[in-house]
Chains A and B, each alone.
Chain A
């Protein structure tokens, strides 16, 4: 199993600013993922982050807007850049351990 923590748990940010979300795992994992979830909606994969390589982004998400770092096997960050109200959402990181995917508690972002 894997226990994941995220910081911050929530934040209210102004349009045009950036926020970096941290994801910490209690064990070493190869694959980490970043998702976005609107309240009451499904999860949308933003990118896959493997340690030692560039993140792989899904269609509709670009590195300039959502830069990701993966400096080691237990930590990753996602930055939401130049925010607009459309970026308001819950951002979750997850890891794959054996066959199971474990999710962090999420970061609730509100952009005003």
Chain B
């Protein structure tokens, strides 16, 4: 039930863009995105719900293709603070249980 996440790692210069993908073999109710910095807990970034609703805190955009059960996180004009490991968490059928992808390590350099 673990979603597949890609790429495994990305190196960017400040101001560059990146896309992180997450796909599931199961029909999804929602997709969450998190960022985790080294030695810290994951921090919620955004939720995308079946039906098109989205909620998030930061100026980060994402999409959810319900037909393909795929989500993408778009990091534009990256900043140094964007560095960390990004995880998608997928929820099946509103069971309120989340299965996490393997993570994408993002390194933004000056």
Contacts and interface: CB of A to CB of B under 8 A. Distances in A.
A104 B96 CA distance: 18
Interface stretch (A13-21, A41-49, A68-76, A81-89): A41-49
Contacts of A48: 96-97
A101 B100 contact: no
* Interface size grouping (class) on chain B: 20 to 34
Contacts of A67: none
B47 interface: yes
Contacts of B103: 41-42
A44 B30 CA distance: 18
Contacts of A58: 97
Interface in B1-23: 2
Nearest to A58: B97
B98 interface: yes
What is the interface of chain A mostly: helix, strand, loop, or mixed?
strand
Given A42-B2, A42-B103, A100-B47, A105 B98 contact: no
Interface of B: 2, 30, 32, 34, 40-44, 47, 49, 55, 87, 89, 96-103
Given A103-B41, A106-B41, 14 more contacts: A41-B102, A42-B87, A42-B101, A42-B103, A43-B87, A44-B100, A45-B98, A48-B96, A99-B30, A99-B49, A99-B55, A100-B55, A101-B44, A102-B44
